[in-house]
Amino acid sequence: MGLCGLRGTHMENVYDFYKPNLASEYPIVDGKLSIQCYLRALDRCYTSYRKKIQNQWKQAGSDRPFTLDDLQYVIFHTPFCKMVQKSLARLMFNDFLSASSDTQTSLYKGLEAFGGLKLEDTYTNKDLDKALLKASQDMFDKKTKASLYLSTHNGNMYTSSLYGCLASLLSHHSAQELAGSRIGAFSYGSGLAASFFSFRVSQDAAPGSPLDKLVSSTSDLPKRLASRKCVSPEEFTEIMNQREQFYHKVNFSPPGDTNSLFPGTWYLERVDEQHRRKYARRPV
């Protein structure tokens, strides 16, 4: 599996999710603005990516539009799972607006009434959201739903969420099913910076091939999730209180039972008086 090289990137200076108080680890979040920023960045990254890949195809002698049909799977940065379903629907809306009137009528049933809208005017359009979710349901089930396995069980993983989606996708498909496919990916960070790009999966799915080994390495995700340690609400609250108590503190060793960590896990052992951090590792 490798990166295809092309990417569409968008950046803005916006206060949707930020940390002005350096004495606290908790951010200030403007939820409504953050969702609009995410969708706007998705629109602009996808538009840029489509233009670039269409230009590349045109130079190679193929003058046709790029659509979601050219991606076998699509994964997203995942703040919450419903946002991902809306995001795939949003990409379908981009394809719909770019299509000819005949194509809009024949391929995008239920969206005809929204053909005259502009992307920037639709971020709070509830009627459009409902129509898009309905129109894109089958595509979501085929291209994206499997990628939400870890997010469904773990919640928001922030920076790692996109690659958690990739691992989930690999764990739910065989090497033979994945071979030769193109996986679209949307990476997002608040503030904001975002990119849309794609992976190309190897054609070689033979036993022992790199693809076969990669897929096999994710096959134990359900078992690993099942091995998580359950804690009571009271214990969880105490853990969070300790995080707040020791934030920016020096000359201390964090409390906690390291024996419950997975083998091979690195953990913070001590912070000295000069803020130097020492780590230790559980035996493999």
Please state the residue numbers annotated as binding site for CoA: 34, 82, 86
Alpha-carbon distances of 87 from 20, 81, 145, 177, rounded to whole Å: 29, 10, 12, 24
Q: Which residues of 110-138 are buried (b: 16+ CB within 10 A; e: fewer)?
A: ebeebeeeebeebbeeeebbebbbebbee
Contact at 8 Å (CB) between 92 and 68?
yes
Q: Confirm whether 77 is a catalytic residue.
A: yes
Helices and strands counted in the chain (H then E) = 11, 8
Three-class DSSP labels, 193-217 = EEEEEEEECCCCCCCCCHHHHHHHH
Binding-site residue numbers are: 34, 82, 86
CA angle 193, 267, 235 (to 5 degrees): 95
Q: How many C-beta atoms surround the C-beta of residue 183 within 10 A? A: 23
167 token code pair: 């691992």
Active site residues per annotation: 77
